[in-house]
Chain A
């Protein structure tokens, strides 16, 4: 199924969050008014960025070795090329994106070169107020650390202030509590929490008990279920 959209309403962090979570293999195509870029993903990590003149050129090669051959680069140069082209990709703010899962066959020795979590945290530090309000929309939200947060946080290369905020996330403090306790600028806090959520370091606190605003009995609920089934 599709993973397509517009970069103005669905930014790179949001896209990377989806590709990383599911450890997807495939090609992310980014079309801005001035550039056409193909970003190659292996197991949810970015391994190569290529600029093309026409989109269909991307789909002429189904083997990653063939891509490298055409581009005239060796596997040893991949890191250098990725680092030099990453700013070009991340500077694209307007345009369309579309992810084609699978499609490309990677050799087994192609590994992650830059942790995507590090890129996502870097991007989160530059988010606008409008963007952070999309995820951190409520000061009453409570977050908790994810099960594997230490592993992700290590890959994300957190700053000192980010580490401090992370230490305060305990499943009881609201966003408002953290604001009051640290006196941190609200936008900065929202950016940090956005990055944490997108990378999977934290998650919304799971509700142990949900509130049902009516004295429902199991018999009445069964009646409702039967009624709906019979419609």
Chain B
């Protein structure tokens, strides 16, 4: 018997360079995250990490025999923003991550939000990653910096911690429920 084809449900994990998107997916995925990494080329990026996502990476969570939830991570650098359009189509929700210790990443997160809000206005939440690190900004201040109103959930996050990642996804799913 051929295996019955499962329907794919898509959540996009977007965010600036080194905000922790791959880690977020790694922490929650039931399979080892499929990564499409390359060595970072620009000097500034090299200072942050050696490898970066160039197309997308994804993780998977099986829901039942018929449905599977895919978490797609978009490349952080603006030069790969063509991927946002590909991934935005058909998504049920969006998680935008920021590095809470680096306010320069808030600008790129805002650009990502502006892009998706203008084209694919799906339910979304913001995950303020690296909340365990010294110098992390309060999610309340990050909300203001991103020009977001109270309707959008801006959540503390430690992408290395499974419960923290689960919380962000569950809040997003609750928000999706409000729009069904």
Contact = CB atoms under 8 A, between A and B. Distances in A.
What is the predominant secondary structure among interface residues of chain B facing chain A?
A: mixed
A1 B136 contact: yes
A58 to B, nearest CB: 19
A218 interface: yes
A210 B149 contact: no
B118 to A, nearest CB: 4
Interface in A1-33: 1-6, 9-10, 14, 17-18, 21-22
Given A18-B145, A223-B64, 11 more contacts: A1-B138, A3-B137, A4-B135, A22-B144, A133-B111, A210-B122, A211-B120, A212-B180, A216-B92, A221-B177, A228-B170
24 contacts: A2-B101, A2-B137, A2-B138, A4-B103, A9-B107, A14-B145, A18-B145, A138-B114, A204-B148, A210-B122, A211-B120, A211-B121, A213-B120, A213-B122, A214-B92, A216-B176, A223-B67, A225-B170, A228-B28, A228-B61, A228-B169, A229-B170, A231-B30, A231-B61
A221 to B, nearest CB: 6
Interface in B122-180: 122-123, 134-138, 140-141, 144-145, 147-149, 151, 162, 166, 169-170, 173-174, 176-177, 179-180
Interface of A: 1-6, 9-10, 14, 17-18, 21-22, 133-135, 137-138, 140-142, 197, 203-204, 206-207, 209-214, 216-218, 220-221, 223-225, 227-229, 231
Interface residues of B, number: 55
A177 B162 CA distance: 45
A203 B145 contact: no
A197 B61 contact: no
A204 B166 contact: no
B114 A141 contact: yes
B136 A138 contact: no
What is the predominant secondary structure among interface residues of chain A facing chain B?
A: mixed
Given A137-B110, A204-B117, A212-B123, A18 B141 contact: yes
A3 B137 CA distance: 6
B69 interface: yes
B173 A137 contact: no
Instruction: Give the 10 A-B residue pairs with the shortest CB-CB distance, closest first.
Output: A9-B104, A213-B90, A140-B118, A134-B107, A1-B138, A5-B103, A137-B111, A10-B103, A138-B114, A21-B144
A229 B166 CA distance: 7
Contacts of B95: none
A135 B147 CA distance: 8
